[in-house]
Structures are given as structure tokens and as C-alpha cells.
Structure 1
Amino acid sequence: MPRQIHYNAAEHISAETAADPYLRPAFSLSNRLRRLVWNICRALLYRLSPKPLHAWRSFLLRLFGARMGRGCHFYPSSKVWAPWNLVCADQVTAADGAEIYNPSPVTLGSHVILSQDAYICGATHDYNDPAFPLIAYAMSFGEYAWVCARASVAPGVNMGEGAVLGLGSVATRNLDPWSVYAGVPAVKVRDRDRAQPTETT
């Protein structure tokens, strides 16, 4: 099934903004101003906050439109490009250096983990179009999915429940549930046990 484009800059940015299409902005002025304010907030209030203050960083993300479940752990040097396009269930973790580039919505299920320097890439460019417009995809990560340290997920790729993307691997196709993938590009190397931790009251 082909990936469905969620945002195409060519449909939103007028050709009149610049004669050279490579010089046209990919997003509206309001979007760019909103990101400027968020980046200032991130630099001053998010990035400098002590590591244990996960609730504070979740509050800041919510302030800019993110939907955050209970007990999310976003570390100080994690990066969210557009909080208003982020949906997190409970107990989602984004470790230091993890980056979510989300011009379109990214949904992270319960207990998803993005380890150190993991990179979620939600957009690319249409290289077959002479105008080279940015195109972005909505992406989803099922419950208990794990993107290991320095692994990358390509635009439009979704991870099934319990899927694992190994250290430094690059996912270029959807990952099946409860499967472990490794390599560049990532291929399935084994199944993962479906056992989940038992919650205590």
C-alpha cells in the first residue's frame, strides 16, 4: 500500500513567493512564527530543565498543543519539531538526543521508547517534481515499540505494536508487530516475545 502524503508544500505555498522554487518556504508564515516561539521556549525552559522534571517538559509540550498521556518521560535534549503534531499515550519515553521531526502528526502508543539519538523523520521532498516541494506523512508507533539508540525511521514508515528497530538501523518500510529489525535498510531478524510487564496497583 503506497504511503499517503499528509502535507504537500506545493498545495499550500504560492508559487508567487519566489521565482526559484528552491527558495520558497515549505510552511506558512504563521507556522514558522509558531515554531520560532516554541524553539525559544525549548531553549530557555525545556532544554535547561533538570532531568527529573519530566512533568514540567510534558506541561510545556501540552502548552504548545501536544497531547501527552500520563507518566511520559521526555528528556531535556530530546527534540520535538512541532508539539501540536505530537500525540503520546501513557508512559512514552524520548531519551536525550531523540528527535521527532513531525511536520505532520506523529502518534506514539503506550510505552513507546525512543532511545538516545533516535531520529523520527516525518518529511522529505518530491524529487520528481521540478519545484522540489516538501512532503510530509502522518506516522504511528504501536504500543511497546522501541526505536533503539541512533536508529532512524524514514518518512511515512509505521511501527507495529511491540516492534523493535535495532541499534543504528534505518527503517524504510513498515515494521510488523512483535518483530525485531536490524540493518541498513532494516530487515526482520527475529520475533519478539509478546510478554508485557504486569501493572501493579
Structure 2
Amino acid sequence: MYNQNTHTGASFSLRNRGGRVIWNLVYALLFQYSPRPMHQWRAFLLRMFGAKVGHGVHVYPKVSIWAPWNLVLKDKCGVANGAKLYSMGEISIGTQAVVSQGAHLCAGTHDYTIQGFPLVTMPITIGDNAWLAAETFIHPGITVGEGCVIGARSVVTQDMPAWMVCSGHPCKPLKERIMSGSGRSSAVPLEQSSTIH
């Protein structure tokens, strides 16, 4: 999606910019200092601003969110403190997926080949049971497959396949993710999600 020349005008509508002003006030006053266990309260605030939020979602208070109305957070997903959801375009996080501390999901960029450097927004999709480890960077337009693991500080510039462990700069698939116990049904717990060993 292309927006107008950034040298001559705003990339987003007045309504969008006004909504972000109001959201930033609500975030500063009611969201970022709410106690950590108050996940339902933060989910309520996100829904009030148009986010689609499933059941049992854990979004921690120090998550940076650009535009809640561009978020889809499916059941039991978790987003840790310090994560950045730069939701210029839609960001969808799947059921039981985990986004760890400092991860940056960036759904907007600029087209440097066009006069005026227009903003381009592209959706990001994180599959069910996927795990983005600490300080990963996800480029605009990326799909991370179901059950995929992205290693800490990886830079993801292309789609990553389902049920693979991937890492690097740029990120590449390394090996299959094998789940112990009762099959591929559970994502890595948020409390254990800062690094890959």
C-alpha cells in the first residue's frame, strides 16, 4: 500500500493521526503503568481502540504499540515487555504465539526508488505456536509460519517456514522444530522465552 509524497504532506489521514494522539494519551495514563497481571484490562483498552483481541491474551504493560486498530491478537498469544508493534500495517499474532522482550515487528517502510520517498505499509503475520525470541526484527510483509522459532537478534527479511528453527542476519532455517511430549501443541512459555540454547 502506497501513501503520498512524504516531502509534501502527511502519510496518514487526519483521523488516523488524531486517533494516535488519543491512543498515546491512554497508553501513557492507563496502559504502560498498569500492574503486570492486569492483562484483561490492557486487552480491554486495545479493543476500545479497534484491536481484535482473543481470549487469554497476555500483552505486557511496556509493549510499544503504534496503532491498536491494526492489531490481531489471537487466543493465548503473549507479547513481552519491550516488544515494539509498529503497526502501520496490520500485524497478526497467532494462537499461543510468543513475542519476546525487545522484538520489533515493523509493518511500514519507505520506497526509496520513487520521488517523494512514499511510505509503504505491508502486513506481518506470525503463525500459531510460533516464537520470536529476544530482540528479533521482522521486516514489513513477512509471514512467520506456524510453530516456527526465530532465534534471538535475528533479522527476518523473507518468509520463514512452519515448524523450523531459524536464526541469523539475515535469518535462515536451520533445523526442524521437534516438540517433546504430546505433539506440536504448545508454544514456548513466555517466562522462558528470552533466548534459544
Per-residue CA deviations over 1:48-95 (Å, capped at 9, x if unaligned) read 100010110000000100111110000010022111111111001010
Distance 1:46 1:180 in 2: 33
Unmatched runs of 5 consecutive residues or more in structure 2: 187-197
Per-residue CA deviations over 1:102-127 (Å, capped at 9, x if unaligned) read 11211111011100000001010000
The TM-score with structure 2 as length reference comes to 0.89
Distance 1:36 1:147 in 2: 29
Provide the alpha-carbon RMSD of the alignment: 1.3
Q: Report the equivalent of 2:74.
A: 89
Distance 1:46 1:108 in 2: 20
> How many residue pairs get matched?
183
Deviation at 1:150, TM superposition (A): 0.5
Greater than 2 Å deviation, 4+ residue runs? 21-24, 194-198
Distance 1:130 1:85 in 2: 27
Q: Report the equivalent of 1:48.
A: 33
Q: Report the equivalent of 2:23.
A: 38
Deviation at 1:197, TM superposition (A): 4.2
**1:1-201 alignment runs, 5 A limit:** 7-10=1-4, 21-194=6-179, 195-197=183-185
Distance 1:120 1:158 in 2: 11
**What is the aligned-residue identity percentage?**
39
Unmatched runs of 5 consecutive residues or more in structure 1: 1-6, 16-20
